[in-house]
Structure 1
Amino acid sequence: MTPMTSGMSFHDLHHQSAPLLLPNAWDVPSALAFAHAGFAAVGTTSFGVACAAGRPDGVRASAEPNLRLAAGMARLECHVTMDIEDGYADDPEQVADYAARLPVAGVNIEDSTAERLIPARAHAAKVAAVKRRCPGLFVNARVDTYWLKEDATAEATLARAAAYVAAGADGVFVPGVTDSELMRILAAEITVPLNVLAVPGMPLAELGALGVRRVSTGSLAYRAAMHAATEAAVAMRDGGPVPAATPYDELQARLTGFVG
């Protein structure tokens, strides 16, 4: 049984006994690898998508690559959600126009531009515009208070989250939070599923017990892949042990079957 035939919608995946672990891809082969590993949903990482295009993250450089990636991922037998930075525009209707072009189950939209928080009302307007245009799209509203260390208090974070939920957000993502008691407070006060980044040393079961409903790998897999690629090249140069790698024939067959 494939994830898409399991009968669970993307919304349903946020309301299970255990949190949804969402791996974040940066191209079609990485998304295929995650789907092949049995994940019911795959997200994207704007950092990985932008870096793969030779651009830094957070400067709206992933807009066009994301459109191509979304089209390429549309045939995956799992749910897909896209990280679209700040929506690539200040105007809410332009953000909604962009989201409507994506053949995906969800989007993640952050409340900062150029590494600075924007007013909560401005981000709420983006969320509301996307939900008006695409009512069935799972909108995960990202609160960057702790990520940017700006207004990094529970009170400020909860106020922003409440504004986005009132605007129609289906989930709230608070990256940068690692304290278990703070997670418990956020999960108890936010009325939609809470999403956090994976925290080393905190298993899914522990995060679930705190009330977290979705855990993203963020850019971790992309950064790990870059590290492993460098290690492989260095090992061949220096005569060290070569890291494990998926066989060429397996990757080729997987991609051939996908596009064929």
Structure 2
Amino acid sequence: MFRDLHYGEVPLLLPNAWDLGSALAFVTAGFPAVGTTSFGIAASSGQPDGDRASKAATAALAAQLGRLPVHVTIDIEDGYSDDPDMVADFVASLAALGVAGVNIEDSRAGHLMERGAVAAKVAAVKRLTPEMFVNARVDNMWFAEQATVDAVLQRAKVYADAGADGIFVPGALSAEDIRGITAGIGLPVNVLAQPTLTVAELGSLGVRRVSSGSLPYRCAVDAAVNAVNDLREGRMAPAATSYWDMQSRLEAFNTGASA
């Protein structure tokens, strides 16, 4: 089960895809679970992140990823609605596609939301789809609002009491902050990949899940620019997975063969 991956000897390293091609690449690389990145989905559709503009694209991608032979978790921003029942209905539609987990944020438009309203969404989801792994995101550190460990723990407790299965605290965090957060939360804690700490070091601090977030998407965009710059500046084309290998993955997926 997807839940079990949060209780292994090492943290679950979760790659975040923005389309089917990137997800198939992660599956081919041997990852047991794949998530989505709301930023990558929104950006590749020409929209900013976090403004509820990516709901349709997210649902369409979930319909594809639910067919993969790995666990899939979907980033649904704040649930795309203020109505807890509408959020729960949307998550139930994802469960019907084979999705095992969702991330739900406690912020919108760059600011924290009232935590009781977020807890109501979590509770509604768990009532309707109890088997869904709900990863409640606490955005104090991400948006630098009430950015203290105590404030994070207060919000995390409200979401845990509402039925959350995990707590996601994004942002560049110090080792001391991470240790304080994991020690104060009785659920698996998820953080983004950190610029100064390895996955193993994060595990030693009590982290149970490490997400790549939008990093792969941003790296892919950088790599695309660098590849064309190499050609423009007279260098040889960089090495890459062949067209034929990527084409065969898509053909296998579309004929129902294992990814």
TM-score with structure 2 setting the length: 0.96
Aligned residue number for residue 48 of structure 1: 40
In the alignment, which residue of structure 2 is the partner of 1:118? 113
Structure 1 residue 177, shift from structure 2 partner: 4.0
- Partner of residue 16, structure 1: 8
Question: Superposition pairs for residues 24-173 of structure 1, below 5 Å?
Answer: 24-102=16-94, 103=97, 104-173=99-168
Q: Report the alpha carbon displacement of residue 245 of structure 1 after superposing the two structures with TM.
A: 1.0
Identify unmatched segments of 5+ residues in structure 1: 1-8
RMSD over equivalenced CA pairs, Å: 0.8
For the 8 Å contact 1:228–1:243, the answer to whether it is kept is no
**Matching residue's letter, 1:198:** A
Check whether the contact 2:106–2:137 (CA below 8 A) recurs between aligned residues. Answer: yes
1 CA distance for matches of 2:118 and 2:179?
24
Identity among equivalent positions (%) equals 58
Match of 2:242 in 1: 247
Question: What is the SS of the residue equivalent to 1:195?
Answer: strand
| Structure 1 length-normalised TM | 0.95
Deviations 1:147-191 (A, max 9, x none): 000010111110000000000000000001421011111111101
Q: Does 1:188 align with 2:180?
A: no
Whole-angstrom CA distance in 2 between matches of 1:200 and 1:152: 19
Q: Is the 8 A contact 1:86 1:112 kept in 2?
A: yes
Tell whether the 8 Å contact from 1:87 to 1:109 is kept in structure 2 after alignment.
yes
Query: What SS does structure 2 have at the residue aligned with 1:42?
Result: strand
CA distance in 2, matches of 1:203, 1:238: 35
Equivalent pair of 2:156/2:185 in contact (CA under 8 Å): yes
Q: Find 1:227's aligned residue among 216, 222, 229.
A: 222
Letter in 2 for 1:189: G
Displacement of 1:241: 4.0
Deviant stretches of 4+, over 4 Å: none
Match of residue 6 from structure 1: none
Name the count of aligned residue pairs: 252
Classify the secondary structure of the residue corresponding to 2:136: strand
Q: Deviations over 1:73-95 (max 9, x none)?
A: 11111100000000000111111
**Could you report, residue by residue, the CA deviation over 1:35-74 in whole angstroms, capped at 9, with x for unpaired residues?**
1100000000000000111111111111000110001111
